[in-house]
Amino acid sequence: MLSLRPCRAFPALAICLLALASPRATAADEAMVVRMVNNAYLPDTLTVSVGSTVRFVNDDPEIHTATQTGGFDSGLIFPGESWQYTFTAPGEYQYVCLPHPFMVGTIVVQ
């Protein structure tokens, strides 16, 4: 029966609407995001102020990490997932993706 279709679709639709209704990130929040796209960090260098939380979002179909030698380590970030880290000290934090060592990025904290 054709009329069943909208009913079946409703739960998914409700989730979509909930997502749209959640509070919007401010411009400042959006700037604190590093996306992983096409096996690269975007942006590859991000400058933030001390105390900022940076969210690493995996928009790729592959697993990535954000790993600083001797420092922070996201562990595996699966496709569609994210991980965040708060930078409490000034400095230049260089990091790589462990499965893809050619993926490099820098967080400049000032």
The DSSP output letter for 50 is T
Q: How far is the CB of 64 from Cu ion (least distance, A)?
A: 3
Residue from 71, 75, 91, 99 in contact with Cu ion (CB under 5 A): 99
Choices 2-10, 44-52, 78-86, 98-106 (CB under 5 A): range interacting with Cu ion = 98-106
Whole-angstrom distance, CA of residue 107 vs CA of residue 54: 9
Q: Are 56 and 103 in contact (CB under 8 A)?
A: no
Q: Which is nearer to Cu ion, 14 or 37 (CB)?
A: 37
Q: Of 55 and 100, which CB lies nearer to Cu ion in the complex structure?
A: 100
By CB under 5 A, residue 51 contacts Cu ion: no
Residues sharing a CB contact under 8 Å with residue 104, sequence separation 6 or more, in sequence order: 41, 44, 94, 95, 96
Alpha-carbon distance 20 to 22, whole Å?
A: 6
> Per CB under 5 A, which region of 3-11, 22-30, 77-85, 97-105 contacts Cu ion?
97-105
